Amino acid sequence: SQSLVFEVVAAEHVVEVREAPDVDARLTGRRLTGGSLVTGFPSGNWLRLLVHGPGGAGGWAMIDGTKHGFGLFLQAQWAKAEITGRFTQALTLRWEGLPALADAQITYAVEWRLASDETVTGHMVGRSQSMHLVALPPGRGLRLRVLASVERSAEDGGR
C-alpha cells in the first residue's frame, strides 16, 4: 500500500500523537500543529505516521475527533475539494483523488450536509475526480466530504 499526505486542520487544538490507535494509549510527546503536513497510512479513524529521519518518531494520530467533541484534526490531501463552478442550486467540485492502483477501480462519493441543519443531506457517486452536485438548497452553507472506495480484482483479494 502507499502512504498518503494529510494536512493538520485542527485550528484550536494541538493533535497529540499516541503509541497505539486508541484514545487511552500513551502519548509519544510528538505534537502536530495546524497547517503542517504529515504522511502515513490510514486505518479506521487513525493515521499511522511515518518515521522521518534519524531519531524521528512515528506513532498514531486521530483523524477525526468529532465524536470526542473536538472536530476534524487531519484532512487527506487527496480528498480536499475545490469548488470550480457555482450555479443556482448547484456546485461543480474537483479533487486530487487517490493515487492510481494497478488492477483497481476507484469510486468516489461526495456527501453534503446543510451547515445549519445536519438532517438535510445528500450525496452523489461517480468514478471521476470531479462532480456536479445539483438540487442543492438555495443560498445555504454546506459541509462537503469526499469519500473513496477501492475495488481490486478478485486475484488481489477484493476491496
Lowest mean pLDDT among 8-12, 17-21, 80-84, 104-108: 8-12
pLDDT of residue 155: 63
CATH class of 81-156: mainly beta
Q: How far apart are the C-alpha atoms of 102 and 96, rounded to whole Å?
A: 18
All cell numbers assigned to 128: 471521476
Span 35-94, pLDDT tens digits: 999 999 999 999 999 976 555 568 999 999 888 888 889 999 999 999 999 998 999 999
pLDDT of residue 62: 95
All cell numbers assigned to 31: 505534537
Q: How far apart are the C-alpha atoms of 138 and 136, rounded to whole Å?
A: 6
Span 74-83, pLDDT tens digits: 999 999 999 9
Q: How far apart are the C-alpha atoms of 11 and 26, rounded to whole Å?
A: 23
Decide the pairing of beta strands 27-32 and 117-126: unpaired
Boundaries of every domain in the chain:
4-77, 81-156
Distances (CA, A) of 145 to 29, 54, 82, 109: 31, 36, 11, 8
pLDDT of residue 116: 87
Q: Which fold has domain 4-77?
A: SH3 type barrels. (2.30.30)
